[in-house]
Amino acid sequence: MSVAFVYADKPSAAAELIGIGKRGGFKTFALAFSEEQAQALSDCGADGIVAAEGAARPVECSAQGVAELLRQRGADVFLVGASAQGRSLAALAAAHLDCAMSSDVASVELDGTFATVTRAMYGGAVVETARLPYPAVVTVSAGAGVPVAGCSPVEHVRLESDDRVRLLDETPVEKSGADLHAAKVIVAVGMGVREQADMAMIEALAERLGAGIGCTRGIAESRRWLPVEQYVGLSGEDVAPDLYLAIGVSGQVQHVAGVRGAKIIAAVNSDANAPIFRAADYGVVGDLYSVVPALIDAAAGL
């Protein structure tokens, strides 16, 4: 039987990857770098949890040990959640294995011979489909898989660590914004919103829709209207809500990269040629200063 290993920083993302492996008919094992991670994954339907003992942090230090484990266990595919650490763990493991790799895919289908992956390109204007022979390493965006349920035995292994990257400190950050990963609806704000005072209108809409508020990088990093953990995209958060409503967002590829897991994307933009309309399922070409109040009124009836 074909074998898949999965790893993600967050249990919810790992659960999706386990779902991809199981639905492909693979014997699927989840890798955990702490006892806490192992426990969090123990009812996610994997055939086993492999808990690495004594693994150095950050996880990249374990890449060589992970590659060795994958080789020993005859893993056909290693699916990794597309976080910053996941991306470098995956790239290093693929280099050690000297195997095929694809990054940040929106979907993965596994069969007995190939992993077939899709990835949005050019701001969502094109979907690229690629095929990888096994063994393969793939980093996967949020929302690509559907979790399955079931208890899994936990097995402990020792991994060799490369201590050239040294963890110096881990300082918890006080998060002030909404948890975008838990939000079913996200209202995302872009630079089309002119004044900070206008955020009141966005907050009113978000409240009516029971939504979390996300934003583009400029809103968080330049204008500092929202905390940095609220910005979505390549260098921000990867989100997978049921509805992503982008307001005054141009839809540059670096932003859209973080929204691939959304079930529905809707956009309000005054420029009919804005790239966001290529990624959106629904769009309103119009001035957000008239459209948002109309949406707030319309949402009152929901």
Ligand X SMILES: Cc1cc2nc3c(=O)[nH]c(=O)nc-3n(C[C@H](O)[C@H](O)[C@H](O)COP(=O)(O)OP(=O)(O)OC[C@H]3O[C@@H](n4cnc5c(N)ncnc54)[C@H](O)[C@@H]3O)c2cc1C
Q: Does 28 bind ligand X (CB under 6 A)?
A: no
Cβ proximity to ligand X: between 241 and 248 the closer is 248
Helix (H, G, I), strand (E, B) or coil at 197: helix
Among 130, 185, 228, 234, contact with ligand X (rule: CB under 6 A): 234
What six digits make up the tokens of 256? 């859209």
Q: Which residue is nearest to ligand X (CB)?
A: 233
Question: Is 249 assigned a ligand-binding role in the annotation?
Answer: yes
Binding mask 268-287 for ligand X (x = CB under 6 A): xxxx--x------------x
251 appears as a binding residue in the annotation = yes
124 touches ligand X (CB under 6 A): no
DSSP H stretches of helix in 41-140: 63-72, 84-97
Site membership for ligand X, residue 24 (CB under 6 A): no
CB 120: neighbour CB atoms within 10 A?
21
Length of the chain, in residues = 302
236 sits near ligand X (criterion: CB under 6 A): yes
Q: Is 254 annotated as a binding residue?
A: yes
Residue 272: other Cβ atoms inside 10 A: 9
Q: Tell me whether residue 77 is annotated as binding.
A: no
235 binds ligand X (CB under 6 A): yes
Residue closer to ligand X by CB (options 171, 273) is 273
Q: Report whether 13 contacts 87 (CB < 8 A).
A: no
Q: Give the nearest distance from C-beta 135 to ligand X in angstroms.
A: 30
CB of residue 274 to ligand X, shortest distance in Å: 4
d(CA 81, CA 104): 8
| Cα 240–Cα 232–Cα 262 angle in degrees, nearest 5 | 20
- The DSSP bridge partners found for residue 150 are 44
**Is 255 labeled as ligand-binding?**
yes
Instruction: Please tell me whether residue 252 binds ligand X under the rule CB under 6 A.
Output: yes
Segment near ligand X (CB under 6 A); pick from 30-38, 44-52, 77-85, 188-196: 188-196
Q: Check residue 88 for interaction with ligand X (CB under 6 A).
A: no
Binding residue per annotation — 131? Answer: no
Contact, 219 vs 189, CB < 8 A? yes
DSSP state of 226: S
Q: DSSP secondary structure string, 204-244?
A: HHHHHHT-EEEE-HIIIIIS-SS-GGGBBSTTSB----SEE
CA 136, chain centre distance (Å): 19
Task: Give least dist CB 273 to ligand X, A.
Answer: 9
Q: Which of 250, 260, 265, 277 binds ligand X (CB under 6 A)?
A: 250
Structure tokens at 151: 């208890």
270 within 8 A of 292, measured Cβ to Cβ? no
Neighbours of 161 (CB within 10 A): 17
Q: Does 179 participate in binding ligand X (rule CB under 6 A)?
A: no
Helix axis angle for 288-300 and 199-209, nearest 10°, is: 30
Is 254 an interacting residue with respect to ligand X (CB under 6 A)? yes
Q: Is 143 in the site for ligand X (CB under 6 A)?
A: no
Q: Which residues belong to the annotated binding site?
A: 216-217, 248-255, 269
The binding site for ligand X (CB under 6 A) comprises: 190-192, 216-218, 231-236, 248-250, 252, 254-255, 258, 268-271, 274, 287-289
Q: Which residues belong to the annotated binding site for FAD?
A: 216-217, 248-255, 269
